[in-house]
Chain A
């Protein structure tokens, strides 16, 4: 019984995340929120900063253990692929993706 209710909760969480992503077209602030949610889930960053300038310019600075040993193009492609939907909706996207700084 207990594990069944846990399962239900995670499904609801996924559903509400989906709703947030799907409403991107209406609310520009949710691009930031959506990016943050996705980046946290995938990269578990040690540092994350998302700056949004106006409606269509976003800067992401992210440090994560996931980037250790990865060449720069691969790090950027990983983030771009994850944030594909959001990036197509904005005009300018800047990314700084590094392993955690000591």
Chain B
């Protein structure tokens, strides 16, 4: 009883399939409520410099806006951008909107900071501020 909170934490971690040593751990299939979803998102952002929440994968985007962001990242040759396919999980698809307080997909995070969606990436690409940001953060 005294350490019930520790047991709860253990169960929580097990449920999340979370290994703090592994930067890409966390199974989207195990997300059954917002708390676990939020933990998954936080963990993903902490362990990856560039994260793209999108529809589909970078090899097979399922939406024009998501594809646009992938192509922009490829254009700048962004090394290792991490993709979360929101179509894999409704919990993620809705959870990331709540987490970011942003209503649409795709969503881009750079060094744990929310940058915006495809419209913002487009504008930043066109005015040079995206290249500037990527260079400043040593991501290209």
Contacts and interface: CB of A to CB of B under 8 A. Distances in A.
Interface of A: 72-73, 76-77, 80, 84, 87-88, 92-96
A73 B103 contact: no
Interface in B99-123: 101-104, 114-117, 119-120, 123
B119 A88 contact: no
A87 B104 contact: yes
Contacts of A84: 103
Which DSSP category, helix, strand, loop or mixed, fits chain B's interface? mixed
B124 interface: yes
Contacts, number: 29
Nearest to A87: B103
Contacts of A80: 102-103
A94 B119 contact: yes
Given A72-B116, A80-B102, 8 more contacts: A72-B123, A73-B116, A76-B119, A76-B120, A80-B103, A87-B104, A93-B103, A96-B119
B131 to A, nearest CB: 15
B114 to A, nearest CB: 7
B18 interface: no
Contact of B116 (A76, A87, A93): A76
B41 to A, nearest CB: 18
B128 to A, nearest CB: 13
A88 B120 CA distance: 19
11 contacts: A72-B123, A73-B114, A73-B120, A76-B119, A77-B101, A80-B103, A87-B104, A88-B103, A92-B104, A94-B119, A95-B119
